[in-house]
Amino acid sequence: MTVLFARGTGEPGNVGILTGPPFFVALAAYMNETRSMSIQGVDYAATTSGFLAGGDPAGAKTMADLINNTLSTCPSTHLTVSGYSQGAQLVHLAMSSLSNTTTSRIKTVVMFGDPKNGTALNGVDASKVMTICDPKDDICKGGDAVLPAHLEYSANAGTAAMFALSGLADVGITSARKISGVDGIVS
């Protein structure tokens, strides 16, 4: 399994600290050493100006390049593309630059605190996409106020991980229906 993750505005490193790491921990816990997992963060500026512009264009290109490179190098990998806040904006932009042939090979997409909440992704079947947005999150409503709800998506890591793993029969998860009721199991 390969996870490409774009952090939110102002977060350190290339996977951040608020959402990415808890998501990865949940993935690892649910896989229970039944398969390997590679994680790659998207290296981009993650500035406020990028967020206000609808996502950093250079970061979106980097993400699209990572998707293409991953699918070329590891054609049989279970690829999950994910992003938090501005990272979710990068997911939208990257998908719009990729061919339908490429996007159809992405197994799952998970977005947290998505400023484009509810907007379809180019070439990605809606059943492969999970968008997690708190109703109290102004960012998910197209606003720019960072309220507490926008900083608490780590609480959804377990649900997001189960969705990302859907279809991996060797970890016992064969459909999205099997993920109901898993909130809070891994925190």
Active site residues: 85, 137, 150
**Which stretches of 74-156 are DSSP H helices?**
86-97, 100-103
Alpha-carbon distances, residue 183 vs 15, 140, 170 (angstroms): 22, 20, 21
Among 48, 119, 120, 122, residue whose Cα is nearest residue 86: 48
Q: What gap in Å lies between CA 115 and CA 92, rounded to an integer? A: 10
Residue 155 has what DSSP assignment?
A: G
Beta-bridged to residue 5, according to DSSP, are 41, 82
